[in-house]
Structure formats: structure tokens, C-alpha cells
């Protein structure tokens, strides 16, 4: 199958998923014959957990229903912006595609197979064939455009089934009458910052979080949000290949090295990011050392102060400072 890249998204070529299955993907039982009506495929949920162990089943499902693959991690700030959008849209499209969420920290084979050098990474699987879609958190409107193109590609290749989850098949009266859970209301500045991130306006989000911190220096949510938006803004509009090439070509360029550390961390290579910065630290002048120190402290906020990799990095940084 030859799949045309969706307009406006970054395609990085074919992905080999053969190591993740014990046999070639087979048609799902009940899949329509050519010219038949689209199949209705029962699934436990429209949002599935994709793992190294079960991805063969996901590939088989993709023979009938397009599968969107969301590679994420618990510590990833941008993932927390994008994943809720994908979950909202998979419900809104009512089974025209299924979402498979893959935790990169616990599924190294899938992470490697989808070439997830930064996260979030989003791909599709159509008829057993993977298609790279985009990296990073993008606004909901752009996500919708990508999904629409995926559905068009799927239709071109006969993958037009519908996934039916138990809730779709029919809910009990009690469940139907149960009130929807109330989402906790964000403070106004946080809400406005979140909306700015959704539309890709990182400058506005930064200004809003800075205002929140100025109003309450103990606002940890705003401090973390500011660090996460800073990471998004620094990586926005840049490709992984260019970032790594520039860093390799100019090992003495601190800006290039800081950016590749950002890329490493966003892709889940947290130890690599911190080690790169700590290795650079001793050879810098005082201004360069201060920039590295500030960047490391920012990245602590991105991964979370309770991340197990923060404490040893903080100890190494302290030893270098004193």
C-alpha cells in the first residue's frame, strides 16, 4: 500500500513493525469483502492501551478501522495537552477510528518502531501499514485536519469499518441518567494559558503563566506550565534532524547543545539530556554555566520534581557549582 502523507504534516518514511507481531496482520473476522458494507467491529473501548505485547492485535484491527497511535509518557508536559484532544475527538468521531495510547517508558519496541525521538509522536496504522503524522502538541483544529486526511486515506484503501465499544452498543438507564463528572475549574490565568497552548500561541501562554507566578510565587502549577511552554516554544518549527545535525556540526555552540538537550528530554531520553548539560558545564564561562544551570532547573519542572532522575542530577549540578 502506498499512502500519501497528509498535507502539512511531517512524514519520516516507512516504519518497520514486523518485530512486534508473530505473524503478518490478518483480516479481522467480519471485515467486509470488497464492495460490501463497512464492518462494525466490537472493541472494549475506543481508546486502547497499545503495548509491545498486544500490538499485533492493534495491527489486525487496523485492517478494518484506522488506528491513531499516540506515543506519550506520564512526565511529558506537551502530552498532557495533546492526549485529551485525541481522546475527545475519538469519542466525537463515534468509532470511525480507534486511539491506541503507547507509554514510551514501558514499550521500548514500539517506541523504536515508530522512531519516536520526541514525544508526543502521533502516527496512524491503516490496513496494517504505519503512517507518520506529527510530533509535538498542536492545536485541536490542526488535529482535526490531520484526522480528516487520515480518514480519506483509509477510505481510499478500503479501511472504512466502525469500531463499536460497549457504551456505544447501549448503556443502562442508570448509566445514561448518571450526571457527567464535573471537571475541576482552572484559575482564570491557567485556563487562558491552556487555551493559548491549544491554539499554538506560546508567547501568550508564557505571558499568562508569568503573570500567575508574579501574583503567587508559590503557584507550582504555573511554574511547571511556564517551563513546559518554554520547551514547546524552543522546539516549535524545528525538525529533529536539523537540531541533531546542528549540534553535531557545532559541539562548541551552546545554543545548539541546549536545544538538542531539549529534544532528548522531550523524546524520553531524560538521562541523556541531563548528562549532556552536565558534561558541558565545566567547559563554559560563567555566563554559559548560568544558562546551563537555569535550563536544568527548567527541565526539572518539565519532568516533575519528584521524578527519580531529578535528585541525582541535582547532586551532580551542586558538586559542579561548589
Q: Is 141 exposed, middle or buried (0-12, 13-18, 19+ CB in 10 A)?
A: exposed
- Residues 74, 268: Cα–Cα separation, whole Å: 10
DSSP state of 153: H
Decide if 263 contacts 243 (C-beta within 8 A).
yes
Q: Which helix (H) or strand (E) holds 32?
A: none
Query: Which residues, including other chains, have CB under 8 Å from residue 180's CB and lie 6 or more apart?
Result: none
DSSP state of 13: -
Residue 318: Cβ within 10 Å count: 9
Find the DSSP H helices in the chain.
55-61, 77-92, 108-113, 140-156, 166-169, 173-177, 188-198, 202-215, 220-235, 240-249, 254-266, 270-280, 286-303, 310-321
Task: Give the active site residues.
Answer: 76, 79
Query: Which residues, including other chains, have CB under 8 Å from residue 94's CB and lie 6 or more apart?
Result: 162, 168
| 3 state DSSP class of 237 | coil
DSSP state of 42: E
Report cis status (omega within 30 of 0) of the bond before 120: yes
Largest CA distance in the chain: 73
Amino acid at each position: 500500500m502506498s499512502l500519501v502523507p497528509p498535507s502539512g504534516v511531517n512524514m519520516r518514511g516507512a516504519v518497520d513493525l514486523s518485530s512486534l507481531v508473530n505473524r503478518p496482520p490478518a483480516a479481522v473476522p467480519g471485515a467486509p469483502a470488497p464492495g460490501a458494507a463497512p464492518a462494525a467491529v466490537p472493541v472494549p473501548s475506543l481508546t486502547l492501551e497499545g503495548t509491545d505485547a498486544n500490538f499485533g492485535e492493534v495491527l489486525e484491527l487496523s485492517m478494518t478501522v484506522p488506528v491513531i497511535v499516540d506515543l506519550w509518557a506520564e512526565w511529558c508536559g506537551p502530552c498532557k495537552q495533546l492526549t485529551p484532544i485525541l481522546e475527545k475527538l475519538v469519542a466525537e468521531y463515534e468509532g470511525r477510528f480507534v486511539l491506541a495510547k503507547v507509554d514510551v517508558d514501558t514499550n521500548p519496541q514500539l517506541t523504536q518502531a515508530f522512531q519516536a525521538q520526541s514525544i508526543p509522536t502521533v502516527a496512524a496504522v491503516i490496513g496494517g501499514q504505519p503512517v507518520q503524522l506529527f510530533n509535538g502538541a498542536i492545536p485541536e483544529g490542526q488535529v482535526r485536519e490531520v484526522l480528516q486526511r487520515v480518514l480519506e486515506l483509509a477510505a481510499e484503501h478500503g479501511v472504512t469499518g466502525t469500531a463499536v465499544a460497549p457504551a456505544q452498543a447501549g448503556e443502562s438507564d442508570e448509566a445514561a441518567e448518571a450526571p457527567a463528572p464535573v471537571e475541576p475549574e482552572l484559575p482564570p490565568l491557567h485556563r487562558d494559558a491552556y487555551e493559548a497552548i491549544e491554539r499554538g500561541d506560546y508567547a501568550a501562554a508564557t505571558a499568562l503563566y508569568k503573570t500567575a507566578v508574579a501574583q503567587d510565587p508559590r503557584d507550582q502549577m504555573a511554574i511547571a506550565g511556564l517551563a513546559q511552554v518554554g520547551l514547546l516554544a524552543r522546539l516549535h518549527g524545528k525538525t529533529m534532524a536539523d537540531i541533531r545535525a546542528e549540534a553535531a556540526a557545532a559541539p562548541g555552540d551552546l545554543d545548539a547543545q541546549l536545544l538538542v538537550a531539549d529534544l532528548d528530554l522531550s523524546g524520553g531520553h531524560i538521562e541523556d539530556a541531563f548528562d549532556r548539560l552536565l558534561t558541558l558545564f565545566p567547559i563554559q564561562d560563567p555566563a554559559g554555566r548560568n544558562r546551563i544551570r537555569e535550563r536544568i532547573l527548567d527541565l526539572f519542572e518539565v519532568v516533575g520534581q519528584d521524578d527519580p532522575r531529578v535528585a541525582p542530577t541535582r547532586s551532580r549540578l551542586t558538586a559542579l557549582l561548589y
